């Protein structure tokens, strides 16, 4: 996928050697839930996280016939979530591409932090046809390397641009330290306390980035126009995955099984995709629970623990530790884990890490391992009404049934009993039609409309209309108006995560309604903080105000259940071939976005229960919700291809992207796109007999990166890719 970065309008973001995220038209992320990947018609997204895990489910390089990338909203034909674009990968037919092929790529990764390590990619493909009726193919692919080593332990995640060394501060949260993310308590005269973080190399059992995958397909031609296809694809991967927190994916498995009947006029396709993660773990939770294992932050029985130890030492109550010294106070509070005299970890650290790593998340004893299993059952059909002569008419529809299960480690699939978790079930369906009509030999108009419905959400129509004017075969001008929408990813709908700061709760009504904190069932955090710090208290069960010496008015937070994001886009463009040598592709677009999803922290008005345990009134909740504000983006893209003499080809592209609009507190726009980007390249596949080369250079301006993990400015940089073959 790295080569896609050289295409006009494409932005590629990599958080791991095995996790490359493709994006167009802004709002990039390391896991792009607004961009769809279809592999031979199969949605490659893992339902658990809402996006494809890099190229894990993609065909190996030897089996890719074509790749089509459609930027911008494509919901009218391809359904929800094709919000910022869609990529269509087509594998090779065993009828058309036969024989045995093999590929080996070997190299070295080298960095100051991680050192030098070998990496390799190995692919094998075999295809055979029998008398133009039956054909089969098999593919195997393996990639192995050491992943990027994260070693920024000096920068504060909440203040990354600071030139001052903040590592000894009470609230230090290292960018690549784990276990120091949560604010424990704010103490006058000291500040907000965070636990001591661990560097990732201490917590990780390895740095491996591995992908092993294989697929097989049988094609049978029923007649000259009709073909039956059965295909299976299996993959297993290990990698580091950076989202709002960092995960170590271990033995992550993905499978797909497809049966398809197609002709030149229709297709019927059914497939099942399944993803399973059994050994993966949450690095932040691993660090936090290792800390708690050595010295709990707070023991309710007697008030002892890490917080009390820190305050005691800071105020001079620990012999041999300097008072009013945050470094000395931390050293005293960490003394059961780190020997204050040597600065070394105690001998039992690794055993404790291994134990926490093997225990399940949100269980007792608490651990960092999570379990997820997600399955999609999907059926779709398409028909081309060729018998209609006055226009080109197509229609289609699909139905998808989804099951997700986390055994209570991620989703709210065990709300009453941790030992009786049940899969969460949801479904979507959609229908669409498109009509294209040539008004004249030079003007063609196309209109399409689609309707989609998902459980827990109202149905949505997405219309699209476009016009193409072609004065001759070498030039065309186009204009379009299109709409798109995106159902929230399943984690945003169904998550239940009891974090020390707040309980993260999904916004789907079928899950969230039992807790009663939506639709007026909570106080705003600002008003509650004012109430609490002036001595106000609530009854933990009824939520009744027990004391209010400051006479503070508590304000209601009226948070509705989450709904889909929406956008509208207007676009114009030109494609032309000048003098038979220079190809030009120019476009401009303007988009507006509404109902962007985000989170807001509120305070529960009354108590509720989870797994039989009371959650008191006054507990903080982080709720998924939509912003009422509107965002806007626009851009210009220019692509040039020039055929030079002697088979040399020169290419260049430029992209200009702008963004405007703000969201409320608690929402991140995450536009994450440079204003200016350009690329230039030259290639010759026939420089000599069996010899060719490709060289590309791309540059992007500095830009502001925003995510739940942190915010910083990405400096401008350029990349040179060169290849000889």
Give the pLDDT of residue 131. 87
Among candidates 68, 20, 23, which has minimal Cα distance to 655?
Answer: 23
Pairing relationship of beta strands 85-91 and 35-39 according to DSSP bridges = parallel
User: Does residue 157 belong to any structural domain of this protein?
Assistant: no
**Distance separating alpha carbons of residues 296 and 309, to the nearest angstrom:** 10
Report helix angle 349-358 to 283-294, nearest 10. Answer: 130
Among candidates 251, 147, 148, which has minimal Cα distance to 208?
Answer: 147
Among candidates 254, 59, 239, 238, which has minimal Cα distance to 141?
Answer: 59
Query: Cβ contacts of residue 669 below 8 Å, gap of 6+?
Result: 27, 596, 631, 659, 661, 662, 663, 706
**Distance separating alpha carbons of residues 592 and 590, to the nearest angstrom:** 7
Averaged over successive runs of 10 residues, the pLDDT of the chain (725 residues) comes to: 83 85 86 90 92 87 93 84 90 96 93 88 97 95 91 84 84 92 86 93 91 97 96 94 84 96 96 94 94 94 94 95 95 96 95 96 89 96 95 96 94 89 95 96 96 94 95 96 92 87 90 95 92 91 94 94 94 94 96 90 94 92 90 95 94 95 76 95 91 94 88 92 89
Residue located via tokens 């031979």: 40
Q: Let me know whether 683 and 578 are in one domain.
A: yes
**Distance separating alpha carbons of residues 720 and 698, to the nearest angstrom:** 7
Q: Let me know whether 329 and 299 are in one domain.
A: yes
* Phi, psi dihedral angles at 325 (to 5 degrees): -115, 110
Report helix, strand or coil for 416: coil
Rounded CA Rg of the chain: 28
> Is the backbone of residue 44 left (phi > 0), alpha (psi -120 to 50) or beta?
alpha
Residue located via tokens 């509705």: 560
Instruction: Please report, for residues 407, 458, 465, 563, 638, the alpha-carbon distance to residue 451 in angstroms, rounded to integers and kept in the order given.
Output: 34, 11, 15, 16, 33
Name 720's bridge partners: 697
Q: Let me know whether 354 and 450 are in one domain.
A: no
Is the Cβ–Cβ distance between 191 and 171 less than 8 Å?
Answer: yes
Q: Let me know whether 228 and 200 are in one domain.
A: no
The residue among 297, 329, 358 that closes a domain is: 358
Is the Cβ–Cβ distance between 207 and 114 less than 8 Å?
Answer: yes
Give the pLDDT of residue 666. 64
Q: Which helix (H) or strand (E) holds 115?
A: strand 115-130
Is the Cβ–Cβ distance between 411 and 495 less than 8 Å?
Answer: yes
User: Does residue 705 belong to any structural domain of this protein?
Assistant: yes
**Distance separating alpha carbons of residues 4 and 18, to the nearest angstrom:** 15
Neighbours of 716 (CB within 10 A): 12
**Distance separating alpha carbons of residues 554 and 543, to the nearest angstrom:** 12
Q: Let me know whether 541 and 404 are in one domain.
A: no
Q: Tell me how many domains the chain contains.
A: 3
User: Does residue 327 belong to any structural domain of this protein?
Assistant: yes
**Distance separating alpha carbons of residues 40 and 295, to the nearest angstrom:** 53
User: Where are the alpha helices (H) located in 139-204, listed in sequence order?
Assistant: 200-203
User: Does residue 433 belong to any structural domain of this protein?
Assistant: yes
**Distance separating alpha carbons of residues 670 and 30, to the nearest angstrom:** 11
> Is the backbone of residue 15 left (phi > 0), alpha (psi -120 to 50) or beta?
alpha
Name 393's bridge partners: 435
Q: Let me know whether 516 and 425 are in one domain.
A: no
Report helix, strand or coil for 5: helix
User: Does residue 170 belong to any structural domain of this protein?
Assistant: no
The residue among 335, 358, 381 that closes a domain is: 358
Find the CATH number of the domain harbouring 664.
2.40.170.20
User: Does residue 526 belong to any structural domain of this protein?
Assistant: yes
Is the Cβ–Cβ distance between 528 and 554 less than 8 Å?
Answer: yes
Q: Let me know whether 101 and 234 are in one domain.
A: yes
- Strands (E) across 330-423 are located at 372-384, 392-405
Name 263's bridge partners: none
**Distance separating alpha carbons of residues 324 and 128, to the nearest angstrom:** 76
Q: Let me know whether 44 and 94 are in one domain.
A: yes
The residue among 358, 389, 420 that closes a domain is: 358
Q: Let me know whether 424 and 524 are in one domain.
A: no
User: Where are the alpha helices (H) located in 79-224, listed in sequence order?
Assistant: 200-203
User: Does residue 181 belong to any structural domain of this protein?
Assistant: yes
**Distance separating alpha carbons of residues 31 and 241, to the nearest angstrom:** 9
User: Does residue 502 belong to any structural domain of this protein?
Assistant: yes
Domain range spanning residue 407? 2-148+207-280+372-488+565-595+629-724
Among candidates 483, 470, 445, 499, which has minimal Cα distance to 619?
Answer: 499
**Distance separating alpha carbons of residues 64 and 415, to the nearest angstrom:** 44
Compute, in degrees rounded to 10, the torsion defined by CA atoms 710, 712, 718, 719.
-10
Q: Let me know whether 638 and 711 are in one domain.
A: yes
**Distance separating alpha carbons of residues 31 and 11, to the nearest angstrom:** 13
Q: Which helix (H) or strand (E) holds 283?
A: helix 283-294
Task: Read off the DSSP letter of residue 509.
Answer: H
Is the Cβ–Cβ distance between 320 and 310 less than 8 Å?
Answer: no
Q: Let me know whether 110 and 251 are in one domain.
A: yes
Q: Let me know whether 28 and 119 are in one domain.
A: yes
Report helix, strand or coil for 181: coil
């Amino acid at each position: 996928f790295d080569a896609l970065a050289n295409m006009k309008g494409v932005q590629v973001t990599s958080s791991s050697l095995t996790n490359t995220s493709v994006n167009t038209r802004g709002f990039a992320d390391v896991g792009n839930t607004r961009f769809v990947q279809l592999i031979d018609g199969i949605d490659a997204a893992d339902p658990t996280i809402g996006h494809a895990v890099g190229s894990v489910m993609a065909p190996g390089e030897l089996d890719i016939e074509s790749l089509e990338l459609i930027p911008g909203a494509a919901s009218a034909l391809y359904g929800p979530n094709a919000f910022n674009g869609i990529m269509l990968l087509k594998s090779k037919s065993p009828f058309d591409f036969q024989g045995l092929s093999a590929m080996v790529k070997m190299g070295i990764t080298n960095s100051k932090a991680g050192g030098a390590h070998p990496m390799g990619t190995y692919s094998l493909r075999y295809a055979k046809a029998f008398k133009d009726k039956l054909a089969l193919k098999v593919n195997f692919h393996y990639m192995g390397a050491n992943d990027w080593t994260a070693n920024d332990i000096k920068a504060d995640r909440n203040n990354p641009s600071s030139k001052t060394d903040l590592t000894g501060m009470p609230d230090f949260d290292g960018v690549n330290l784990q276990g120091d993310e949560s604010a424990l308590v704010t103490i006058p005269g000291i500040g907000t306390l965070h636990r001591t973080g661990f560097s990732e190399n201490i917590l990780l059992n390895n740095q491996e980035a591995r992908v092993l995958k294989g697929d097989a397909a049988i094609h049978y031609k029923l007649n000259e126009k009709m073909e039956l296809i059965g295909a299976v694809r299996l993959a297993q991967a290990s990698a580091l995955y950076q989202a709002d927190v960092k995960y170590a994916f271990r033995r992550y498995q993905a499978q797909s099984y497809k049966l398809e009947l197609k002709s030149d006029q229709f297709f019927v396709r059914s497939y099942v995709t399944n993803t399973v993660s059994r050994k993966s773990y949450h690095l932040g939770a691993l660090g936090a629970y290792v800390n708690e294992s050595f010295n709990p932050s707070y023991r309710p029985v007697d008030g002892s623990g890490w917080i009390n130890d820190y305050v005691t030492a800071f105020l001079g109550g620990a012999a041999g530790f300097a008072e009013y010294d945050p470094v000395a106070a931390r050293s005293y509070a960490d003394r059961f884990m780190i020997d204050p005299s040597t600065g070394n970890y105690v001998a039992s650290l690794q055993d404790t890490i291994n134990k926490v790593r093997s225990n399940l998340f949100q269980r007792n004893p608490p651990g960092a391992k999570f379990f997820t299993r997600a399955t999609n059952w999907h059926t779709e059909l398409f028909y081309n009404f060729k018998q209609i002569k006055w226009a080109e008419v197509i229609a289609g529809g699909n139905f998808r049934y989804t099951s997700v299960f986390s055994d209570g480690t991620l989703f709210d699939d065990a709300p009453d009993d941790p030992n009786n978790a049940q899969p969460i079930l949801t479904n979507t369906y959609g229908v669409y039609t498109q009509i294209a009509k040539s008004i004249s030999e030079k003007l063609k108009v196309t209109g399409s409309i689609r309707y989609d419905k998902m459980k827990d959400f109202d149905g949505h129509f997405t219309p699209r209309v476009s016009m193409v004017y072609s004065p001759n075969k070498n030039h065309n001008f186009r204009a379009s108006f299109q709409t798109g929408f995106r159902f929230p990813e399943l984690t945003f709908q169904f998550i239940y995560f009891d974090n020390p700061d707040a309980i993260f709760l999904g916004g789907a009504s079928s899950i969230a309604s039992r807790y009663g904190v939506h639709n007026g069932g909570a106080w705003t955090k600002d008003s509650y903080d004012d109430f609490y710090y002036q001595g106000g208290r609530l009854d933990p069960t009824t939520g009744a105000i027990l004391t209010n010496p400051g006479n503070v008015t508590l304000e209601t937070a009226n948070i509705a259940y989450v709904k889909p994001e929406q956008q509208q886009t207007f676009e114009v463009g030109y494609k032309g071939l000048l003098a038979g040598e220079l190809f030009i592709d120019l476009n401009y677009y303007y988009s507006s976005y509404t109902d962007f999803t985000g989170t807001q922290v509120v305070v529960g008005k009354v108590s509720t229960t989870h797994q039989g345990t009371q959650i008191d009134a006054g507990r903080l909740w982080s709720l998924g919700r939509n912003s009422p504000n509107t965002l806007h983006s626009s851009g210009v893209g220019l692509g040039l291809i020039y055929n030079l003499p002697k088979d040399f080809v020169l290419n260049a592209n430029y992209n200009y992207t702008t963004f405007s609009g703000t969201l409320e507190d608690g929402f991140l726009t995450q536009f994450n796109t440079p204003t200016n980007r350009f690329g230039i390249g030259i290639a010759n596949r026939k420089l000599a007999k069996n010899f060719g080369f490709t060289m590309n250079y791309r540059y992007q301006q500095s830009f502001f990166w925003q995510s739940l993990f942190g915010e910083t400015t990405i400096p401008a940089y350029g990349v040179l890719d060169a290849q000889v073959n």
